[in-house]
Amino acid sequence: MPLIQITTMQEVFTSAQKQEMIARFTDVLVSLQGEWIRPATVVVLDEVKSGQFGLGGEAITIEAVRAMAAASPAASPAPGTYQRLSDHKLVEASVEAA
């Protein structure tokens, strides 16, 4: 039984976004193994309080996350890219297809 654990900060994602994360992570495993794995897949979404989430040795607050999101050029990265935090700024990086 696969277990997927996601940890995020409280107030970053809406209930609908959390449900979408659960569905999409489950779909990834289904795409790899087949539909049989869906009912056996467990997704746990843990949320931590603002200031209790660290990045690079510093506590990050919800205000900092919102500032990073506001500075982002798009709500979602383009296909084939991912977003990462670098020096507390959102940076887009390319992912090459294997």
- What pLDDT is stored for residue 56 in this prediction? 85
How many Å apart are CA 59 and CA 38, to the nearest integer? Answer: 36
Residue 13 belongs to a domain with what CATH number?
3.30.429.10
pTM for this prediction? 0.68
57 in a domain, yes or no?
yes
35 in a domain, yes or no?
yes
76 in a domain, yes or no?
no
12 in a domain, yes or no?
yes
Q: Of all residues in the chain, what percent carry a pLDDT higher than 70?
A: 74
Burial of 12 from C-beta contacts in 10 A (0-12 / 13-18 / 19+):
middle
How many Å apart are CA 20 and CA 73, to the nearest integer? Answer: 22
Share the mean pLDDT of the chain: 81
- What pLDDT is stored for residue 75 in this prediction? 57
Q: 50 CB contacts (<8 Å, ≥6 apart)?
A: 9, 10, 11, 60, 61, 62, 63
pLDDT digit string, tens, across residues 4-41: 999 999 999 999 999 999 999 999 999 999 999 999 99
| Domain range enclosing 56 | 3-70
In degrees, rounded to 5, the angle at the alpha carbon of residue 7 between the alpha carbons of residues 45 and 76 is: 90
Confidence of residue 52 (pLDDT cuts 50, 70, 90): very high
DSSP state, 54? Answer: E
Is it the case that residue 44 has pLDDT exceeding 50?
A: yes
The total number of structural domains in the chain stands at: 1
Nearest CA among 4, 5, 10, 17 for reference residue 53: 10
Q: Letter for the amino acid at 62?
A: I
